[in-house]
Structure 1
Amino acid sequence: MAREEQGGRGRDRKDEERDSEFVDRLVHINRVAKVVKGGRRFGFAALVVVGDQKGRVGFGHGKAREVPEAIRKATESAKRALIRVPLREGRTLHHDVNGRHGAGRVVLRAAPAGTGIIAGGPMRAVFESLGVHDVVAKSQGSSNPYNMIRATFDALKAEDSPRSVAARRGLKVSVLQSRRPGGEDGTAEG
């Protein structure tokens, strides 16, 4: 028994060193009760957002009989489901984007420097973990944290950088971002 614990500790240290780059935020804990003959049995479900504050973020869900175990499971789940989001100047989004999941709808807007994170509840945790410093977000519809997080991730997956758009179209970034002559009469599309 003692050997297993010691072996586990050594492995955990290596994992901690490797995973120290990640910041995790607990978004929501749900307690459920199962009524049995002897009384109530409580279970806990945790929703956690994990990110490296450099453009990678993920969320996870974990269930267990005790809170710390549920949080640990949710954190591991989040680290397995990381997505990369392109950021403009490492501080904001490249363009405005909408996302939805179920009845939850979110609108994310790029913001000028100094704006800060204007977002509520679960969305704020996502942006802080992602490393976004300036963004304006609005949640419409469901305020369920699970739906809000999933809608936010749906929006972030639709985020595109000018470099990737230029590569997809076979253009140079400078050509893509420059104003075309005659852009005022509606020939140029943005």
Structure 2
Amino acid sequence: MRRTIIDTTNLELTDKVVSIKRVTKVVKGGRNMRFTALVVVGDGNGHVGVGLGKSIEIPEAIRKGKEDAAKHLVSVALDENNSVTHDFLGKYGSSTVLLKKAPEGTGIIAGGPARVVCELAGIKNIRTKALGSTNKQNVVLATIQGLSQVKTPEEVAAKRGKSVEEIMA
């Protein structure tokens, strides 16, 4: 994954909890209950991150998830329609998420976990399809992975040694 260090001090991050799971560890004296919170944060302007928090109490797990997500922010390349610049497949584990560019007015056509990531990234027009496993955690991570790999036309043109007009034609 392409990770660039993003300064979070001047970003207004909003967060959404994707899932809260109760996990149990069986020990000699009985069962230890804990909670795992999957949290997505974003500024609505091309930065989004995901984090996992674990604790005995739900609010503490959510807080830890927010902190973890803020540490793992990625940049998303958006076009003039607030959509991705090109179609891409994001993969994580056995989950694959197809991210398709969409014209103005389409809105966010996505399932629950992928929708949260797209909304917080600031994407307004996109079509997605979860392929393979629909495990919430893997779908969120596949979406993040796919969005972080999307390139701008300027990056592609520079890599190929051509102008942006030649690439877009």
Contact 2:81 2:125 in 1 (8 A): no
- Report Cα offsets for 1:119-171 as digits up to 9, x if no partner: 00110010010000111100011111111111112211220110111122222
More helix by share: 1
Give the distance between the partners of 1:69 and 1:49, measured in 2 at CA. 15
Pick the aligned partner of 1:50 from 25, 31, 41. Answer: 41
Give the distance between the partners of 1:162 and 1:20, measured in 2 at CA. 25
2:151 aligned residue: 160
Paired amino acid for 2:17: L
Paired amino acid for 1:56: H
2:112 aligned residue: 121
1:109 equivalent in alignment to 2:100: yes
More strand by share: 2
The TM-score, its normalising length taken from structure 1, stands at 0.79
1:33 equivalent in alignment to 2:52: no
CA-based RMSD of the aligned residues comes to 1.9
Give the distance between the partners of 2:71 and 2:80, measured in 1 at CA. 26
Give unpaired runs (5+ residues) of structure 1.
1-17, 180-190
Measure how far apart 1:26 and its partner are.
0.4
2:3 aligned residue: none
1:83 equivalent in alignment to 2:74: yes
- Report Cα offsets for 1:28-49 as digits up to 9, x if no partner: 1110234567764320000001
Give unpaired runs (5+ residues) of structure 2.
1-8
Aligned residues between the structures = 162
2:136 aligned residue: 145
Pick the aligned partner of 1:64 from 55, 59, 72. Answer: 55
Give the distance between the partners of 1:169 and 1:143, measured in 2 at CA. 36
Secondary structure, in 3 states, of the residue corresponding to 2:159?
helix
Measure how far apart 1:90 and its partner are.
5.5
Of 124-133 and 144-153, deviating more is: 144-153
Contact 1:55 1:87 in 2 (8 A): yes
- Report Cα offsets for 1:88-110 as digits up to 9, x if no partner: 01610111111211211111101
Query: In percent, how many aligned pairs have the same letter?
Result: 47
1:136 aligned residue: 127
